[in-house]
Amino acid sequence: MNKFWNWVKNEDSGETELYFDGPISEESWLNDEITPAKFKEELAHHAGDLTVWLNSPGGDVLAASQIYTMLKNHKGRITVKIDALAASAASVVAMAGDKTLISPTGMIMCHNPATLAMGNKADMEKAIELLEEVKESIINAYEAKTGLSRSKISKMMDDETWMNAKKALKLGFVDGILFAKQDESEPEEEKEPEKNSDSAEMLYTPSVTAASFLQKLTATQPTGIPIDQLEKRLSLLRN
């Protein structure tokens, strides 16, 4: 089993911390039903408060969704610390923190989900419908953390939005910046105000993913989930 997470003991505090460093579910998790159970078992062995260090270009959004749920369901307080990058699916994991912090040099990126599809017109329409549902589920996590309107979050995903530490703090994607003095943090009242425009339609823009700046930053080219696998996985999650 190729694990993409690791438990490391902090020599200063004596506490064990969880590290996600690299792509989420590069070769495991949803292709191996044992892996989610293994992660859940290991997480249960670390009762109490937990620090999660995150540095990932993303990966499988459904794996990220399940990790998000397991962390939210954890009995202790979850503190997520983004030390470099929380992009794509990894940004969903970042939303699981009761408190989410980011390095002053760190970045968060959100964009529309992608998949691989082939077939006739009906097949393409079905693929778009499934992607819209996946997008809605991602928006749920962002909305719960930031308090931003669904239409604003949807537009950010359409545009493939990159956020440095200060922008992520201002928009509510993080709760603070690591190493920053208290008086250097953004005042609460400067957060992006909520706008009641949730009735706007969801949009899907595949060209955004194709032009992803992430491809320029990593040697590993991100790949989408074939539509038949996506449908199967969504069905399993609904059961």
- Whether residue 52 contacts residue 78, with contact meaning beta carbons closer than 8 Å, is answered with yes
pLDDT at 236 over 90: no
CB 166 within 8 A of CB 102: no
Mean pLDDT in residue range 107-132: 88
For the stretch 4-54, pLDDT in tens is 899 998 888 878 899 999 998 756 676 666 678 889 999 999 888 999 999
In order of their start, the domains of the chain are 5-238 (3.90.226.10)
Segment 133-161 mean pLDDT: 96
- Return the pLDDT at 203: 31
The full length of the chain comes to 239
Tell me the C-alpha distance between 23 and 60, whole Å: 8
Helix (H, G, I), strand (E, B) or coil at 217: helix
Q: Residue 161 pLDDT more than 90?
A: yes
**Which pLDDT does position 233 carry in this prediction?**
60
pLDDT tens figures, 54-101: 999 998 888 899 999 999 999 999 999 999 999 999 999 999 999 999
pTM: 0.76
Encode 155-181: b = buried (16+ Cβ within 10 Å), e = exposed.
Answer: ebbbebbbbebbbbbebbbbbbbeebe
